[in-house]
Chain A
């Protein structure tokens, strides 16, 4: 009699890990698509995003207007392509501001500890207590809605959370043996920060940059939708939403077309940050 094969556990074997996961490929392709839209999109479409043609309002897709025209007869495709530039600029600017505040503050508090840490952490807690969209709206309330305020508003609404993250990472890095070793070998604080702490932060900052870029694109759009972001007629993904919102009951397709690039761009950022995190985690655990 043959030996009976007992399969006591029915879970399927996981598929062998592919070198590059499918989701990373999707994310990278979408990211590339967005990048192409920003760089060569306006040129490729070849339409003026500000040319009004009242006689040709709400035209469907086709002909010279790939995605049709909006409520003023402007070319939707080129408004999205030009808008992509503005939105990308805003997102990058906002992340730069948040990073410029978070890294020095996080490193300072996390590395030094003591009363500096205590005071700054309390202030961060305070700002953390206000939902970030509200912080952004508050800033816009102060200076009025514009491209510059949107950058500032988003940058200022991300720093509390980012500072917390950097601080706890620095606290973790500070207690590593290589930092102790550097201190024992007589390296100055500044040198330790430069060689051990800052280099140790690189993975976290890389991941957070992609995460925050995604947030910033979403929030620029949300502010635009509320009429508090980039103001029409200036093209941006957010202002495009503000324009389309007025006609949402009669021409909801305009709002949908305006939303699709946002979804794709943010999805790309989420996929990239997720696979980046996986990869860096894998590296850390060996």
Chain B
């Protein structure tokens, strides 16, 4: 098991390294010069030269990369081209909001998708299954911003149950913070649950065909015990692995949901940095999002093997 884990971790290292090269090269791919691109063609040449020197853009590439990577490993992503503030400070500032949204969204989607996927997968071809499958096909077609607008219109603008937009840190005012999280989290959760429900369903269908399921019935175990203790428990390893991939949808979804609900998370930084051509920021965000995705999937793979006793010996 330890060897397996080590092997997995070692596989992730070149991936993370490749990602860092990619993010670095990305900014240098910009046609012309990032500073000119940012400030415009008619900018003052002395200012441009000054900025270029400040960001180290006038030095050879390998040297630039080395310095940049050394900084990144220390948690220093450089300075924002736009605001001149340290990028790490800006991002760290935004992380709690995004985590709160993504976490709550994930909980919502798990609460919807797991029961739906299990119900559909336990009886493939049944009426309930076709109903749930059609619902997921429709759900996959509904964009997060559309869903969010509907929810906002209904719960905030018509029923006035919750505020329509905004964010309060949880530590400042927990109750208000949760009230404000409700709609964005519901939007994000509903947007992701069709993917998750389909993944759950196919994992459950596969397990439900195993001989131990009818044998469990022959033993006279209760249906709930069979669907949870046998089917879901055996589908869990592949579900956890699938969950890792769902993180990509969670990230993409949160970028859109943050924009809709004016939620000050890292997703707003992504759109802001691209529109404002703040390349150092884009570079840092690519690395952080990509790195997070790689690490989360690594953790999920390790969890997957922990959940399956058959992997332990190999």
Contact = CB atoms under 8 A, between A and B. Distances in A.
Interface string B147-191: 001101100010000001100000000000000000000000000
B290 A129 contact: yes
Contacts of B255: 133, 137, 226
B286 A263 contact: no
Contacts of A265: 141
Given A249-B157, A262-B143, A140 B251 contact: no
Contacts of A228: 271, 274-275
A16 B47 CA distance: 76
A267 interface: yes
Interface stretch (B22-30, B67-75, B204-212, B220-228): B22-30
Which 8 A-B pairs have CB atoms at the shortest separation, nearest pair first?
A259-B146, A266-B141, A133-B252, A267-B141, A131-B248, A141-B274, A126-B18, A130-B290
B14 A225 contact: no
Contact of B289 (A131, A221, A241, A252): A131
A179 B133 CA distance: 36
A97 B163 CA distance: 43
Given A125-B15, A141-B279, A271-B137, A131 B143 contact: no
Contacts of B137: 23, 267, 270-271, 274
Interface in B229-267: 247-249, 251-252, 255-256, 259-260
A248 to B, nearest CB: 6
Interface of B: 14-15, 18-19, 22, 26, 29-31, 123, 125-127, 133-134, 137-138, 140-146, 149-150, 152-153, 157, 164-165, 247-249, 251-252, 255-256, 259-260, 270-271, 273-275, 277, 279, 282, 285-286, 289-290, 293-294, 297
Interface string A128-147: 01111110011011110000
A129 B252 contact: no
A241 B256 CA distance: 12
A129 to B, nearest CB: 5
A267 B277 CA distance: 35
Contacts of A80: none
Given A252-B153, A256-B153, A227 B294 contact: no
A252 B15 contact: no
B146 A262 contact: yes
Interface of A: 11-12, 14, 23, 122-123, 125-126, 129-134, 137-138, 140-143, 214, 218, 221-222, 225-228, 241, 245, 248-249, 252-253, 255-256, 259, 262-267, 269-271, 274
A-side interface mostly:
helix
A34 to B, nearest CB: 12
A226 B256 contact: yes
Given A214-B141, A245-B260, 10 more contacts: A12-B127, A126-B15, A126-B22, A134-B270, A142-B29, A241-B145, A245-B259, A256-B149, A267-B137, A267-B138
Contact of A256 (B141, B150, B256): B150
A249 B164 contact: yes
A252 B149 contact: yes
A205 B256 CA distance: 29
B152 A248 contact: yes
A130 to B, nearest CB: 4
B164 A131 contact: no
Given A225-B145, A248-B149, A122 B14 contact: yes
